[in-house]
Structure 1
Amino acid sequence: MDTQQNTALTRALAEVPGPLPTSGVIHITLPHTDRFTVVGNHLAQHPELSCTAVGIAVRIQSLPQGTEVSIKALTARCKEGEKRIAAALRELEAHGYLQRFRHRLPGKKVATRTLFCNQPAALVRLRGQTPAPVPVPAQPQAHAPESDSYSDVEPVPEPEQQPERQPKPEPKPEPAPLPPAPPVPAVLLPVASPPSPPPPPFVPPPTAPKPPRPPLPQPGALTPALDRAATALLSDLRRHAPQFTLSEGDIRQLVPPVATWLERDAHPDTIRRTLIDDLPQPLRHPVKLLKHRLTALLPPPLPGACDLAAPARPRTVATPFQTCDDCDRAFRSPAPGHCRDCRETREHRGEDVPAAA
């Protein structure tokens, strides 16, 4: 009586469309209208990030712009300690979700700025597709006004006239030095590089080859009676489960393993329940499921009557009791004679003692 029942969840579970899974989590999905954050599965199901790092990333992504996300600020917001939060931030920084850099402020002050990207893989691809920036030409230096002539060669005088003495050109004034350019802030995004291949998938491809499937069970002798019974059982499955409407070719493949079950004294109702109970939803390959269950759930042969009998215990032969000829004392011996004390007494007296059995 002390267990609280959530009737709202119970009613919502009854309204979930489609068949419910037999195991695992059951999702009740309601659309958000306010106060929600979109999180990609590449972060929520990242195979190399810890659950603490994923939770810290979701917390940072849900905060508005300009919110303080230092280690001490996150410690005040979360239940984790500074060490766990610092380790989670290092994980996010190693996988490209987080970037921290130092920004110099006026007055020789330095502040740490934090960047958070919700899709680092997409950002890398976007930077790889962006064309390289065109270099800006340098500003032209100040120079003297150009003359009417476009050539620096003096004109050649005619032979009848003497060339007039040209005045010496005045030295050109040196250009005034340009003011120093303002400092360029540090680039926050990765430096553009040649187009790189797409990032590898988070889930690596399987390296080990799949083991071969075990062969279907075969009976010792496929008699006509076993063949008829197995064929009838397989043809009758569609009455109990319409998904198992098998073709004649499929039935001929499944007859030997079913005959093996019948040969091992399995009841037809037991075989039918084993094959059609607790089906996966949706069922895409009925024949493959039947082959798997007939092979993996094959019972062993029934033991014989001699195998069920308890093993006979070995008989122990007890040495019989004898009565001593001198003192009438009872003692154990395979043959009559004297007891140990009487034999020792006779030996002490020097009398003949018969050999002990």
Structure 2
Amino acid sequence: MDTQQNTALTRALAEIPGPLPTSGVIHIAIPHTDRFTVVGNHLAQHPDLSCTAVGIAVRIQSLPQGAEVGIKALAAHCREGEKRIATALRELETLGYLQRLRERLPSGRVITRTVFCNQPTALLRPRRPAVAPPHTQAPAQAQAPTQAPNPAPAPAARPEQPMPPDQPEQPRLPAQCEPPAPETLAAPPAPPPPSFVTPTAPPPLFVPLVPPPTAPKPPPRPLPRPSEPAPELDRAATAFLSDLHRHAPQFTLSEDDVRRLVPGVAAWLERAARPDAIRHALTDDPPHPLKHPAKLLKYRLTELLPPPPPGIRDLAALARPRITVTPFQTCDACERAFRSPTPGHCRDCREDRSRAAQVPLGPSPALSSSS
């Protein structure tokens, strides 16, 4: 049996105007009447989105309001796994197509609203309300008869002359067929000119949390430098960077990279950072694979810069002894207040007690007289 030909496809190709291309795709565009979604080329041909992210975006855009678009809800209807769907949602969120907003309800419950925008760059442009077209005066002009610029004055009424007997009398036209009088040809009053009010741009209904890719990025922070440059710091920083590959082989730097990163390492050394601590802060837990080690070192040298060590005055303030205040105590004998670290007797009571203990007790007079 011979290969069957699709006559419908052949007929559709025959209806395409112009010559068909010899290579590439041929589009047969049949207009949709129901169940269709309009997708912009900025999404379908986005250079930074994967095909999975584009497909997930088209599926979300085709769903009705209030439909569940979480990872598990999409994985239940798609062949992709939860990891690929989560990665696609992160791509869409990075480029502004998808937004997740946390909102607190009047009852106190916190919910997360998922908002999908089919054209995120249009949110940054101010949108104005549609202005009604000016009132047309075509119907009024069509109804009003055309007025001559300078109408000729009406001729004076002539006295009726008797018709000759041999000439038949002409019939008179009815009132509705008679030509209008000159007074009826006056132009109708002109309508007042329409008042054009410049519409003010309403505030944006939705402010994207993630800036679009075209938004200007802040300039990067400069590499730190020592406050007092010294040749000793530069030599120590150069030796540190040149020897870094022995401890971390993935941080092999070129001569230009070492020259550019020397001021940052010198700033760390100036702040009394030990080489082992610097090496641990710069090379700990690098990304895999590490494509640009010099850029990672520059970022960490800038963002993880330790604070400067305290000065002599700050250390002197820390070493300054504190003044100890002796508390008040109440005397157990006379109940007077006195300062002492421990409770007991005041000074006068202690002296009286010491004098009383030093005076010897003599014999009584009765005993001496009897003897």
TM-score bracket relative to the smaller structure: 0.3 to 0.5
TM-score (normalizing by structure 1) = 0.36
